[in-house]
Structure 1
Amino acid sequence: MRVATDISPAALAIPCFSSKSAPRNVSGIIANQRDSFAKYRPGYIICIVGILQTIVSQKRQTLKNVKASLPLRYIREKIADAGSTRDFRSAVKRPPNTAIRLIAEIKKASPSQGIIRKNFDHLSIARTYEEKHVDAISVLTEEDFFEGNISFIPQVKKITSRPVLRKDFIFDDYQIFEARAFEADAILLIAAILERNQAAEYLHLARELGLSVLFEIHGQRELEIALSIGVDMVGINNRNLDTLQVDLNTTITLRKFIPTGVIVVSESGIRSRENVMKLEELGVDALLIGSSLMAVPDIGQKIDELRGSP
């Protein structure tokens, strides 16, 4: 796809970022996936279309190398030596007449924004989250597009008492064992990249390993699948994973179809106290917030702002 040079990125209504702030492997992906990207000039702006399958395709290649270097038998041995998990689900469940829960994310970059936090220090961020008494922490472990690493999880857990979610693109049972071995307390499963039977199998495996599961959906059909396989914690992603566009109405629309007893987490696009209050009024249990925290100099101050603290 080619974009005329007299059209601004804003007019395209698709995510764009400068080449200087792009995640490290974007240029190589553009070379291999020209139909999924367009370059806008001047200023070398990259605009992303249909990114989800590109991420998954890249992740499959990366996972092959990981499996070769650390076979499953070693992962299982590591699990045998691991301690018990922290209760992520209980941490984000919101009792009646209490404030909405906060899952604060550690994330350096994203496909929609490129590098979000230039002076990125995951341990410093984790300390801030501990000091601010967030309810749980989400750690991006995808390396190529988000510049995360699974090694962040045990490092973060050493300095915080909060349960930790491994946020990644999981499509292989190896990744679930890997999450447990690296001390995650919960994993994210994304409906958009899993078949129904696969999702059910992974949900069962994770629970057997003592992991909570946040099952991410974006539409009603995915919600129906989630409920049919016994999911008890649904993450409504306000971001369309193909276009990366964000709309908080996604949570507003889907919330009413989720039965009592299923924990509801709203993800993406939560930037203001007004957003928080709106979702709180809907009966949402928890908010997963990343970019809004990563993009500001003072993360603690932003948390106070979102909570309405003086």
Structure 2
Amino acid sequence: MVENRPLLTFLSHLVLIIGVLIVAFPVYIAIIASTRASNEFLSGLIPLLPGPHLVENYSRMLSSGVSTSGAPPLGLMMTNSLIMALVIAIGKIAISLLSAFAIVYFRFPFRQLAFWAIFITLMLPVEVRILPTFEVVANLNLLNSYVGLTVPLIASATATFLFRQFFLTVPDELMEAARVDGAGPMKFFRDILLPLSRTNIAALFVILFIYGWNQYLWPLLITTDERYYTVVMGIRRLAATADTEPLWNVVMASAVLAMLPPVLVVIFMQRLFVKGLVETEK
């Protein structure tokens, strides 16, 4: 039974609206700042209304960039970030699916040991193992390359664990029926497990895409060629100019543009993302 309490409903909506305003206000300020001229911020006052330089600032960042920052045009950096995010997300999901499938449905020596060895790597983030990882990548001559940007980050213990937990909930009768019909392991994986995992894959893709898009430390370490700079690195360089005031209008324009791909991914995959997180059997 749902109780009708107008005061409680009003207070709930008021709290939600205030929360949205608090979260959205910095984004609004960034959008407003990206439409203004750079000298409008030297006084320390932040305007709250849009300015006339929107097209100029955004076209400048996408086409030519800011030469004094040492960063290439934003279009190239966003392309690099997009490649990195897609390869990391798709690679993590593919490897995790196969790893979980092998651990759950195959009987081989030290199967549980293999799972726990994967699971324990959750305690070893990139920051902990970054020096030996960098040495391996450097010895393989993968610095300043898309392979070096993506492959060291492509394994995921978290995704493997989540897919393993889901595969354990799949009834054994499905596997037995597939075996009776003459389906081999990979056909069972492709025709039964993958369709059942669709919502899990969508939810993980959103999370892993944003994870890859927001990477800063690893690209900063292995890229010295500006052709491989990512957008997060570019924004940092724009905001850290030497001997001059940062051009906050183009910094904010870059931040707004960098925010668009993750936002679009979340919007277009929102239904599957929410479904993959809230379904009880997953």
TM-score bin (small chain)? under 0.3
Larger relative contact order (Cα-Cα within 8 Å, sequence gap ≥ 6): 2
TM-score w.r.t. structure 1 length? 0.22
Larger gyration radius, structure 1 or structure 2 = 2
Higher strand share: 1
TM-score w.r.t. structure 2 length? 0.24
